[in-house]
Amino acid sequence: MQRRLFLTLAAAGVASSVTACNALEEQPGPTATLIDDQAMTPTPTPTFTRTPAPTPIPTSTPTPTAPARPDLVKVAIPDGVITELPGTGNLLAWTVDDGSSSEVIRKYAEFARDTGTRLTLFANGAYEGWAENADLLRPLVATGQIQLGNHTFDHVDLTEASDDEVIEQLQKNHDFLVDTFGVDVRPDFRPPYGFHNHRTDHLAASIGYTAPVLWYGSLSDSGLITSEQLVGFAETWFLPQHIVIGHLNFTPVTEVFPQLLEIIRSRGLQTVTLDDVFLKP
């Protein structure tokens, strides 16, 4: 009897357990098991604020300043022809003539502007490159870093010209330089080819051109030569107190500006214009 009662009670217990389990399965519940109080509070996802890039402070590009004029004690312009600089020292007068190539005029001007090299340019106004590059040249002329000189308007042999033609060639070029660059370039002039005589010098002096300037060394580039030859001539003639002549006609010289400048620097030379050395009358 007792055994039969035990089995009956046990069966009833099993049935109730199964019923309870089925009831639990039917109840909706969380999909995740919560372990403790911290897990019950959602952890916020960290957010990151992008640091703004610093705003660049605008800066103005400094305007290049012209190199200072050499602090030299000037001397009076000598009577007669000038072929070299007076005295002893480390001065070099790099002078450049003509101007048949507008590109070469421009590159010489840019070279002077970028390096501070001082030059004396003897211009023939008949060449269009002088007017084409006037805006580039004017600031350099105004500061005296580039000096202009008279080389006649059409590059004529003055010794073959009549008296009137000598005056006309120098005066016409004089007027062109005044009108284009605003400077009176007297008294310095260079007779084309270096050809001059007492007659031509006297005629030039009658209109204020009292100082015929020749040279003591040449880059020999009035015609087309190689850049290697140019460097060789510079090594020969870039020496203290020399007036050296070059030309604004062909591009090879513009390809060796760094080499020419290195010769000047390695020899401790200082480039000057004629106005840096000589007093105006």
**Does residue 28 lie in a domain region?**
no
- The Cβ of residue 17 has, within 10 Å, a number of other Cβ atoms equal to 10
The yes-or-no verdict on residue 1 having pLDDT over 60 is: no
pLDDT value of residue 130 = 98
pLDDT value of residue 106 = 98
In Å, how far from its chain's centre is CA 220? 26
Please state, for a pLDDT cut of 90, what percent of the chain lies above it.
74
**Does residue 55 lie in a domain region?**
no
**Does residue 16 lie in a domain region?**
no
Is the dihedral angle over the CA atoms 100, 126, 275, 79 positive or is it negative? positive
Structure tokens at 12: 């009833």
Mean of the per-residue pLDDT values for the chain? 84
Residue 38: band (very low, low, confident or very high) from pLDDT cuts 50, 70, 90:
very low
Give the pLDDT mean for 115-126: 98
Q: What is the CATH number of the domain that holds 174?
A: 3.20.20.370
Please state, for a pLDDT cut of 70, what percent of the chain lies above it.
76
Give the pLDDT mean for 75-102: 97
Say how far apart CA 187 and CA 167 lie, in whole Å: 14
Say how far apart CA 91 and CA 232 lie, in whole Å: 20
Model confidence pLDDT, tens digit, residues 227-268: 999 999 999 999 999 999 999 999 999 999 999 999 999 999
More confident: 32 or 157: 157
The yes-or-no verdict on residue 8 having pLDDT over 90 is: no
Count up the domains in the chain and report the number.
1
Model confidence pLDDT, tens digit, residues 83-95: 999 999 999 999 9
More confident: 58 or 231: 231
Model confidence pLDDT, tens digit, residues 140-191: 999 999 999 999 999 999 999 999 999 999 999 999 999 999 999 999 999 9
pLDDT value of residue 28 = 36
The yes-or-no verdict on residue 33 having pLDDT over 90 is: no
pLDDT value of residue 74 = 95
pLDDT value of residue 66 = 53
pLDDT value of residue 281 = 83
More confident: 21 or 200: 200
**Does residue 224 lie in a domain region?**
yes
**Does residue 43 lie in a domain region?**
no
**Does residue 15 lie in a domain region?**
no
Query: Would you call the peptide bond into 187 cis, given omega within 30 degrees of 0 as the criterion?
Result: yes
Specify whether the backbone of 259 is left (phi greater than 0), alpha (psi in -120 to 50) or beta: alpha
Helices (H), the chain: 2-26, 37-40, 102-115, 129-132, 134-143, 163-181, 198-205, 227-237, 257-266, 274-277
The yes-or-no verdict on residue 4 having pLDDT over 70 is: no
What is the domain range of residue 170? 75-279
**Does residue 253 lie in a domain region?**
yes
